[in-house]
Amino acid sequence: MRSIVDVEKVLQSYRLYLQMEKGMSANTREAYCRDVDKLLSYLASSGVALRDVTVDTLRYFIGELHDLGIAERSQARIVSGMRSFFRFLSLEDYLNPDPTEMLESPKIGLHLPEVLTIEEINSMIAAIDPMKAEAQRDRAIMETLYGCGLRVSELVNLEVSKIFGEEGYIVVRGKGNKERMVPISEVALDEIADYLFDRDTLDIKPDCANILFLNRRGGKLTRMRIFQIVKSLAETAGIRKNISPHTLRHSFATHLLEGGANLRAIQQMLGHESIATTQIYIHLDSSTLRSDILTYHPRNHRPNPECH
């Protein structure tokens, strides 16, 4: 059996295999290689060598994709890329046996979590009625939900004092009452800054003085109200999918992953700790985390003039 001394050389050989033997187009080859890169990044952060990969290793990897809210169709595509790569390694006598032989593909059934396209999210923001008193607040809510991948509970409890605009971070309180820093885009920060002018005109209740998003009576928004806002915007935009605030979180994770962001960066951004991967969880440097998110999130490099 051949030893895997230089992974990069193996990847170069794999690219030639896809081109010469499989006859794949350049776009398909790049898609397959991106999926392999995601797996290799996961293996490196988990301390697992390529030659030591087992079917359980791959199942843990797919489990992380699922826990991050990545849609089953995207998971299935990534599994297809992994199968191709390990089939190549087996054919070239790098690995034996092929660990993907016993790997099940994610089942694509009728109850998939919905994922919005970037265009659909843009259309929802554009559907906000500028004549409504809460228009600026709702724009800020949408940009923060999608731009930061927040849970609804994290959004309604977000505090004004936990927004660090100059540093480009917010601090949210997630499950288990744990706080984490979350990078936030300039787009979302600008919408929040504009909303704060409207917020200052409210008769704010004393116990909500530090809560960012408020209703017209100066009280904290409920989870149900956020659900209603998102659902109504989807209907106005003509989107027939089954939409909830969590759909924006699924979309956030899927768009980042498909754009090439590091899987660990997405995991930390969402504040998720999978039981299966707790022992191999790697804490990312905050500057690297912010760089990854702001580089790969579509709201940070797609102008969206129709939202104003």
Active site residues: 151, 175, 246, 249, 272, 281
Residue 251 C-alpha from the chain's centroid: 6
DSSP 173: E
**Rounded Cα–Cα distance for residues 290 and 284 (Å):** 10
Outline where 223-279 has alpha helix (H): 223-236, 245-259, 263-270
CB atoms within 10 A of CB 255: 22
The H or E element spanning position 163 is: strand 163-164
The letter for the amino acid at 17 is: Y
HSE of 11, CA atoms in CB hemisphere, 13 A: 16
Q: What is the 3-state secondary structure (H, E, C) of 178-189?
A: CEEEEECCHHHH
Q: Measuring CA to CA, which residue among 252, 256, 226, 243 is closest to residue 140?
A: 226
How far CA 230 is from CA of 11, 58, 138, in Å, comes to 43, 35, 9
**Rounded Cα–Cα distance for residues 294 and 262 (Å):** 12
**Rounded Cα–Cα distance for residues 196 and 122 (Å):** 22
C-beta of residue 261 within 8 angstroms of C-beta of residue 68? no
C-beta of residue 146 within 8 angstroms of C-beta of residue 248? yes
**Rounded Cα–Cα distance for residues 214 and 157 (Å):** 10
Residue with tokens 């409207």: 198
